[in-house]
């Protein structure tokens, strides 16, 4: 990826994060930083990260059986996280 493209992407991210911060956190940057997890291609990718980092305790031999997208949707429904569609993926926040 060229340096120009990286700079453009970074600028887009910065503006999106700023807009989200102002809208959802009333400008409270500390709360935003505490709750923002990151951008993921889909919510299942977020769950995969949790499993890999052992945030969710899953025996290694069972990892392949987990429907990470469904698990992520359940986390949203249960109010553990919330997401916002952005740039072909999702921004994930802890609730």
pTM: 0.71
Q: What is the pLDDT of residues 13-60, one digit of tens each?
A: 777 776 766 677 676 777 777 888 888 999 999 999 988 887 777 888
Instruction: Output the pLDDT for position 94.
Output: 92
By the 8 A CB rule, do 94 and 35 touch? yes
Residue the block writes with tokens 């997401």: 83
Q: Is the pLDDT of residue 1 over 60?
A: no
């Amino acid at each position: 990826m060229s340096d120009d493209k990286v700079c453009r992407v970074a600028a887009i991210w910065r503006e999106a994060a700023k807009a989200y911060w102002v809208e959802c956190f009333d400008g409270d940057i500390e709360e935003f930083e505490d709750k923002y997890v990151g951008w993921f291609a889909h919510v299942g990718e977020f769950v995969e990260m949790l499993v890999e980092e052992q945030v969710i305790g899953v025996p290694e031999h069972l990892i392949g059986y987990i429907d990470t997208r469904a698990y992520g949707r359940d986390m949203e429904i249960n109010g553990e996280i919330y997401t916002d569609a952005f740039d072909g993926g999702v921004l994930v926040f802890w609730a």
